[in-house]
Structure 1
């Protein structure tokens, strides 16, 4: 391999006759005057003069051809492999034309590729195009994981990509971007497994009910188990919000998440809510005021005069007091508050507190919070704010040399992040996520946000994501956003729509450049990995087996005597078929070969299939 053509301080062209170049592979240029600079292949070509295809005026100009002839290439006969190589560090002068080029050994590029030992970092996958370095890897960097290639499981075949979690103190927050089917959720699963391996307290909001780590991938026999490293909690089932701890502003945000609040409703909340209100006391006050506003002062006083029951009189007097104090509030606004509060209660939001989350995080576990998206948005606003301020209060107290209960550093993770912090729209969790994006690093609270639509994510938050993992992305607007927020080159951005599932570019301030990565196989399986069409076939097969079990109790079955069979089928299977439906099912099973359909002199008969 040799440097050919015109060179600059930033890039060179390299030619080879006996090997193909791999995109993103690292090469060493043997120019001793410049300290043997290293570079990365950013474009590759195979050139034959007989079939130029228009390259003569582009990459392969006359200067390149002259250089190839000078160093012994037969331009007329040979296929020439060419690569554009971008230097990692700008040279002080142009590279010497004709300089030899070679593959490095791992020791020469170790500092560029590996920043931390596997036991101390997140082992996410393999750096693409580093296969030639595998032979010179150190023992501790070998055989760390398995990869998926074309439906096959293969061992690690290059330099591992290991993310230094401790570097987030300086370069906080991670963004994971990629379209549907790109491997984004799979990559997020791998990242969460690594956080569990390191024992990092992590809070995950899971709107898709897929972040369960109980089932191991049987293709990896020595995969670690995570059952004791995570807990799954459901909103309304295991966790909720303690209403009595909420401020008036937080109550207003919660009700607004259940349905947009008008200015009149917001004013009513601010007027009616009292510090330390329980959900019952607040609801009772609002409900009583709604009844008082609806009946009016005259109606209440008339009933009070006629009422003899002391308890009933007390209730009426209470409504009169409320009417005197809050009678200027619109009835429609008060009823709107009641409706939104009932919706939150129906979702179970106030049935529990966040104590299970606090215990698990303090124990260094990963906590997966599951629930409908709109409920997660509401709950996330409250729980993130509470936990962040507990961590912040401890750090501030320590700085001021005061005592405060300890709360550990933690990572907040969510998929569909654009629904929690959208650009141009207010959502309950957006203010606290924005605050953490800007200030969380100082207090040891970090974000990992995954989204299919980075363009829709709040720009303030996007700008604070110092590491971005970019999977296949097709939309031009999203690619443009990624270009603005990363150091991807035009060539790399042009490849985004064509990346394989599981391939990604990692643009990180930790590495100082973009790293192409193949994400490793996850050790666990998502509950949603079953193909829905396989699921349908399996369900139909089970239904057929259950029906056959009933029918075989009655064979031979005659089409003129189906009532007894029908009654048994309806009772056993819990269905409400009629004779026509049963007859069509018998014909279908016969056509599938699961029953025999035989004509008789009087009617059709159905019997067991031949052995």
Structure 2
């Protein structure tokens, strides 16, 4: 392999007769005066005499051809392999044309590829086109994972990609971008498995109910994640302690249940009292609605007349009068709007629990998966993130001032569909606290991992703070443009984004100082949604068929004239409500599938074993 053509301090062309270059392959240029610089193949080109096309295509130009001829290549007969190589570090002068190029040994490129040992980082996958380094790879970097390609599982055959999570102290926050089917959710699962291995506290907002780590895949490496995570559901296991909310907290929560007008905000600020329980606040709102509907004159008339009213009724009207004296100027429509939003949150179970289970999980070094609908997660996240971040910040501030504080661990916040939690262009309940964490969280040991299919819709302040970005296949032009603006992906890598295979990803990280192409490892666990829906449909149909066959086995052979006698018995066993005609249709379908034999005689149709 040799350098050909015009070279610069950044890029060179390399030619070979035998070696077929691969994208992202690492090459070493033997130039002692420049310290044997190294680079990465960013574009490849091969041609021979059997391909009758001009030599002015792609990266080949007249200058390169002239150099090839001077080096002894027969352009008309030889197969020529060319590659464009981008240097890792800028050279102080152009590379010498004709310099020898070779593939390096692992020790020569270790500082570019491996920043931390496996036991101290997240082993996320295999760096692409590094199989030529396997022979010189140390034993502690071998056999760390399984890789799946083209539906075939294989052993690790390259340098492992190990993310140095401790470096997030300097380069905080991770973005995971990719379209549907790109492997984004799979990559996020692998990342969470590695976080659990390191016993790093984390909370995951899971709108798809897929972050379950109790189903083990065939490639499981012996770790039981069931003891390393806890799954909670909003309204069933966790919720909001209403009495701990400030007036501003209630504004954010009710605003997430439905947008608030200025008049509604005024109602909350006027009616809410410090340390209100849900019951006391909702009762005050409900009584105020009743009082405003009756009107001040009717309430006073009931009180002054008082005939036929019980003591409880008089007390109720007295309460109405006090509320009207205090809040009578508030619009009835606005108070009703607050009542509707409050009831909606209560019906979801939000105010029936607290966040103790989440705090205990984080203090135990576990991954806490919080599940719920998207809108409910938006509401709940604004509260729980604010509380947990305040606890961590209070502890760190106290420690810096040499004061005694209650320890609360550093933690990671993870969410899929991140553009719903911190959207660009408009407010969301958790957006303000997430922006604060994006800008200042690293000082307190609180970090973000944001996954989204639409990085263009994510708040720009947060996107700019994501120092490590994992970019899976992306097709939409606006998203590709956003990614190129926010990363160091080259023009060539940007063109490859729509064509990446599922599970392939570009990692643009300030920790590595350049973009790496990696293949995500095979996960140790599987998603509960892994079953193809069409296979699920077929499986359910098969189960129903088997259930019917099991019930009618003792009745075979079964004549259609006897169906009326057995319909009730079959319905009772199967829990169905079929009539005779529907039962006959079921038997006809089983006969069509070959699970029953259908015999016709002059008197009736008979169904029997095949």
- TM-score normalised by the chain length of structure 1: 0.98
State the shift of 1:599 in Å: 1.1
Partner of 2:195: 195
- What is the CA–CA distance in structure 1 between the aligned matches of 2:280 and 2:62, rounded to whole Å? 86
- What is the CA–CA distance in structure 1 between the aligned matches of 2:101 and 2:359, rounded to whole Å? 56
- What is the CA–CA distance in structure 1 between the aligned matches of 2:154 and 2:57, rounded to whole Å? 42
The CA deviation string for residues 416-451 of structure 1, in whole angstroms up to 9 with x for no partner, is 000111101211011111110011011110000000
Partner of 2:256: 257
- What is the CA–CA distance in structure 1 between the aligned matches of 2:361 and 2:58, rounded to whole Å? 60
State the shift of 1:307 in Å: 4.7
Answer yes or no: is 1:294 the counterpart of 2:293. Answer: yes
State the shift of 1:56 in Å: 2.2
- What is the CA–CA distance in structure 2 between the aligned matches of 1:311 and 1:151, rounded to whole Å? 73
Partner of 2:66: 66
Report which stretch shifted further, 545-554 or 188-197: 545-554
1:36-185 → structure 2 map (5 Å cutoff): 36-49=36-49, 51=51, 53-56=53-56, 58-185=58-185
Partner of 2:540: 539
- Give 3-state SS (helix, strand or coil) of 2:412's partner: strand
Q: Residues 548 and 74 from structure 1, CA distance in 2 versus in 1: closer, same or farther, beyond 3 angstroms?
A: same
State the shift of 1:60 in Å: 1.9
- What is the CA–CA distance in structure 1 between the aligned matches of 2:239 and 2:91, rounded to whole Å? 59
Kept in 2, the 8 Å contact 1:550–1:568? The answer is: no
1:98-497 → structure 2 map (5 Å cutoff): 98-218=98-218, 220=219, 222-304=221-303, 305-497=306-498
Kept in 2, the 8 Å contact 1:217–1:524? The answer is: yes
State the shift of 1:36 in Å: 0.6
Question: Would you identify which runs of 4 or more consecutive aligned residues in structure 1 move more than 6 Å?
Answer: none
Q: Residues 307 and 55 from structure 1, CA distance in 2 versus in 1: closer, same or farther, beyond 3 angstroms?
A: farther
- What is the CA–CA distance in structure 2 between the aligned matches of 1:595 and 1:426, rounded to whole Å? 61
Kept in 2, the 8 Å contact 1:421–1:458? The answer is: yes
- What is the CA–CA distance in structure 1 between the aligned matches of 2:486 and 2:33, rounded to whole Å? 36
Kept in 2, the 8 Å contact 1:133–1:158? The answer is: yes
- Give 3-state SS (helix, strand or coil) of 2:56's partner: helix
Q: What are the ranges of 5 or more consecutive residues in structure 1 without an aligned counterpart?
A: none
Number of equivalent positions: 608
- What is the CA–CA distance in structure 1 between the aligned matches of 2:355 and 2:523, rounded to whole Å? 29
- Give 3-state SS (helix, strand or coil) of 1:562's partner: helix
Q: What are the ranges of 5 or more consecutive residues in structure 2 without an aligned counterpart?
A: none
- Give 3-state SS (helix, strand or coil) of 2:43's partner: strand
Q: Residues 221 and 170 from structure 1, CA distance in 2 versus in 1: closer, same or farther, beyond 3 angstroms?
A: closer
Kept in 2, the 8 Å contact 1:551–1:565? The answer is: no
The CA deviation string for residues 163-194 of structure 1, in whole angstroms up to 9 with x for no partner, is 00000000000000000000000000000000
- Give 3-state SS (helix, strand or coil) of 2:369's partner: strand
The CA deviation string for residues 382-435 of structure 1, in whole angstroms up to 9 with x for no partner, is 000000000001111111121221101000000000011110121101111111
- What is the CA–CA distance in structure 1 between the aligned matches of 2:27 and 2:415, rounded to whole Å? 38
Kept in 2, the 8 Å contact 1:189–1:211? The answer is: yes
State the shift of 1:53 in Å: 3.2
- What is the CA–CA distance in structure 2 between the aligned matches of 1:314 and 1:57, rounded to whole Å? 91
Q: Residues 167 and 560 from structure 1, CA distance in 2 versus in 1: closer, same or farther, beyond 3 angstroms?
A: same
- What is the CA–CA distance in structure 2 between the aligned matches of 1:373 and 1:63, rounded to whole Å? 58
State the shift of 1:49 in Å: 5.0
1:559-574 → structure 2 map (5 Å cutoff): 559-574=560-575
Partner of 2:18: 18
State the shift of 1:50 in Å: 5.4
State the shift of 1:57 in Å: 6.0
- What is the CA–CA distance in structure 2 between the aligned matches of 1:263 and 1:401, rounded to whole Å? 43
Kept in 2, the 8 Å contact 1:14–1:85? The answer is: yes
- What is the CA–CA distance in structure 2 between the aligned matches of 1:387 and 1:543, rounded to whole Å? 48
- What is the CA–CA distance in structure 1 between the aligned matches of 2:409 and 2:136, rounded to whole Å? 40
Kept in 1, the 8 Å contact 2:45–2:58? The answer is: no
Kept in 1, the 8 Å contact 2:398–2:404? The answer is: yes
Q: Residues 54 and 293 from structure 1, CA distance in 2 versus in 1: closer, same or farther, beyond 3 angstroms?
A: farther
The CA deviation string for residues 480-513 of structure 1, in whole angstroms up to 9 with x for no partner, is 0000000000000100000000000000000000
Q: Residues 568 and 257 from structure 1, CA distance in 2 versus in 1: closer, same or farther, beyond 3 angstroms?
A: same
How much is the aligned-residue C-alpha RMSD, in angstroms?
1.1
- What is the CA–CA distance in structure 2 between the aligned matches of 1:221 and 1:414, rounded to whole Å? 24
Partner of 2:515: 514
The CA deviation string for residues 220-269 of structure 1, in whole angstroms up to 9 with x for no partner, is 15342111110000101110000111110110110111111111111101
Partner of 1:503: 504
- What is the CA–CA distance in structure 2 between the aligned matches of 1:74 and 1:149, rounded to whole Å? 38
- What is the CA–CA distance in structure 2 between the aligned matches of 1:489 and 1:512, rounded to whole Å? 13
The CA deviation string for residues 318-342 of structure 1, in whole angstroms up to 9 with x for no partner, is 1100001000001111111111111
- TM-score normalised by the chain length of structure 2: 0.98
Kept in 2, the 8 Å contact 1:217–1:223? The answer is: no
State the shift of 1:52 in Å: 5.3
Kept in 2, the 8 Å contact 1:216–1:223? The answer is: no
Kept in 1, the 8 Å contact 2:221–2:524? The answer is: no
